[in-house]
Amino acid sequence: MDLSTRDGEFLVLLGSSGSGKTTLLRMIAGLEQPTSGEIHIGDQRVDRDVPPRARGIAMVFQSYALYPHRTVFQNIAFPLEASRTPRKQIEEKVRWAAEMFSISRYLDRYPRQLSGGERQRVALCRALVRDPKVFLLDEPLANLDAKLRNTARDDLKRFQRQIQTTTVYVTHDQVEAMGLGDRIVVMERGKVRQVGTPQEVYEDPVDTFVATFVGQPPMNLLDTGDPSLPPRTLTGFRPEHFLPQSVFGSGEDLRTFRFAVRRVEYLGSDRYVYGSVAGSGTPDATIIAKLPATIVLAIPEGETHEFAVPRRALRYFDPETGLRR
């Protein structure tokens, strides 16, 4: 793979477990040695002889890895002590960082006395005081409960914008990736599948892997057997573009489908409609339509309906290679 970040960028490595995203992060940190290839930070090559401490990086671990026997103050001060910073400067810097994450009142507490969100902020503080060239974050939100995760995500993004430090962020959560990343790197089995802004990755996936990995529910893929297309072409469209034909205005250039509805799932803000498209080359494939609550049209189960997708929302893939056509 060949991957480079832009200065001050928030780069998200997105992949399922085993995709190599954490290994890549650990190699950047120097916790693991690459068997081949080069890693550069700034204009310095670091992969051979530069130990983690000299790479100008700071890392936040999934478990936060706070030192349980040290107070919050001592935790944040640890990297500064290791770099033999004068006492007074340590004091100032810790207080400044704690202020920034509003954890000043916890400085004398031990990690076990803090909640998950507070621990996470302590870990960020500890990373911040090193003035790193790169922040490496390994699923820092994964251990928080869902409610806290949203606010923590917002805090994190604001904080990164404020300090303008290049950040590499590893996650398997696509919502996090889309929400946080300036650019997303989609990884699978140690290979980079696509690099792009959240919008590019979502709207223009380079292959079927990215198309189905990003987006919830995933992009629908089917062989329409359309004579105007090259033989054996997979047509892809997002569930939210697949709507009853009557919803669209008359001016829209549509591709219509006869959609045999099997089941309707009511999810409050959306309805997921599961079914299959008759007459296609893949009649058994489950196709999902995502209808926003604003569409109140009744969709009885077990019947066939006229559904349509705007032609501009269709994407075509080669079934052999999975690549875009």
Partner 1 sequence: MTALLPPRRTLADREDVLGAMLLGPALAYVILLVGVPFAFAIALGFSNATAGSLSFGWAGFHNYGAILGDPIFLRALRNSVVVTVGSQVLVVILATAAAQVFRATFRGKRFARFVLLLPWAVPVSLAAIAWTWIFDSTFSVINWTLKAAGLLHGWLYWLGDPALALFAIIIVQAWRIFPFATVIVLAGLSSIPQEIVEASIVDGAGFWRRLFRVELPLLLPVVAVAVLFGVVYTATDLGVVYILTGGGPANTTHVLPTLAFQRGILGADLGQGAAIAVFLLPFLIVVAIGMLRLAHRTEVGGAR
The residue among 69 and 262 lying less far from partner 1, judged by its C-beta, is 69
The residue among 134 and 254 lying less far from partner 1, judged by its C-beta, is 134
- Residue 185: CB minimum distance to partner 1, A: 21
The CB-side HSE value for 21 (13 A sphere, CA atoms) comes to 25
Residue from 16, 298, 319, 5 nearest 172 by CA: 16
CA end-to-end span of the chain? 23
Alpha-carbon distance of 81 to 87, in angstroms, equals: 8
Alpha-carbon distance of 298 to 263, in angstroms, equals: 13
What HEC string does 240-260 produce?
Answer: HHCEEHHHCCCCCCEEEEEEE
- Residue 119: CB minimum distance to partner 1, A: 7
Residue from 151, 126, 149 nearest 136 by CA: 126
- Residue 15: CB minimum distance to partner 1, A: 20
| Measured CA angle at 59 (ends 58, 61), to 5 deg | 160
Which distant-in-sequence residues (6+ apart) come within 8 Å of 9 by Cβ? 166, 167, 182, 183
The residue among 141 and 178 lying less far from partner 1, judged by its C-beta, is 141
- Residue 29: CB minimum distance to partner 1, A: 6
- Residue 17: CB minimum distance to partner 1, A: 16
The residue among 39 and 66 lying less far from partner 1, judged by its C-beta, is 66
Alpha helices (H) in 164-207, listed in sequence order: 174-180, 198-203
The residue among 58 and 178 lying less far from partner 1, judged by its C-beta, is 58
Give me the phi and psi of 29, to 5 degrees please: -70, -25
The residue among 130 and 271 lying less far from partner 1, judged by its C-beta, is 130
- Residue 93: CB minimum distance to partner 1, A: 14
The residue among 123 and 219 lying less far from partner 1, judged by its C-beta, is 123
The residue among 63 and 256 lying less far from partner 1, judged by its C-beta, is 63
The residue among 13 and 77 lying less far from partner 1, judged by its C-beta, is 77
- Residue 122: CB minimum distance to partner 1, A: 9
For 14, the enclosing helix (H) or strand (E) is: strand 10-14
Q: Is 199 exposed, middle or buried (0-12, 13-18, 19+ CB in 10 A)?
A: exposed
Q: Which amino acid is at 59?
A: M
- Residue 99: CB minimum distance to partner 1, A: 21
Residues that bind partner 1 (CB under 8 A): 29-31, 52-53, 57-59, 61-70, 78-79, 81-83, 110-112, 119, 126, 130
Which distant-in-sequence residues (6+ apart) come within 8 Å of 250 by Cβ? none
The count of other CB atoms within 10 Å of the CB of residue 96 is 13
Length of the chain: 325
- Residue 81: CB minimum distance to partner 1, A: 8
For 136, the enclosing helix (H) or strand (E) is: strand 134-138
